[in-house]
Amino acid sequence: MLELDFGQPVAAPRDSDIGWSGVACKYTTLADANGYGFKWAGDSNYLALHDMVLRDGEIEVDGLRPVRAGDLRDRMTFVPAGCSMEGWARPEDRPNSFVALYYHPKALSEELEREVRQGDQRPVVYF
């Protein structure tokens, strides 16, 4: 799962998560506007839908140049298995949240009982 590092004691983010065979979904609401760092590397695909507005921030994903952050409402990020990402963010003082889906295409195909097409497996940030 995505690791968040606030560097100082803050109100903990509120998380809700659910999982199935090969799939996990986590909804995170950030409780305050303090800055934080984040990182992720895993053997599953990562897909996030953001409802966040950042004063400043940056994300770096394997093979891509760093991307500055701003208004991320209704934006998504996809990072395929085997890649990693890290960055930092300073959110605006507003309700900020994101939903992250972690999935293994093969396990998802078995769960759905149909082939899940892999398509393009390049990371895409804030699309």
Q: What is the pLDDT of residues 30-83, one digit of tens each?
A: 877 789 999 999 889 999 999 999 999 999 999 789 999 999 999 999 999 999
pTM for the model stands at: 0.80
Which residues are registered as beta bridge partners of 36? 89
Q: What is the pLDDT of residues 85-119, one digit of tens each?
A: 999 999 999 999 999 999 887 776 666 666 766 66
CA distances 99 to 7, 63, 110, Å, are 22, 24, 23
> CA end-to-end span of the chain, whole Å?
21
Tokens of 76: 């998504």
Percent of the chain, pLDDT > 70? Answer: 80
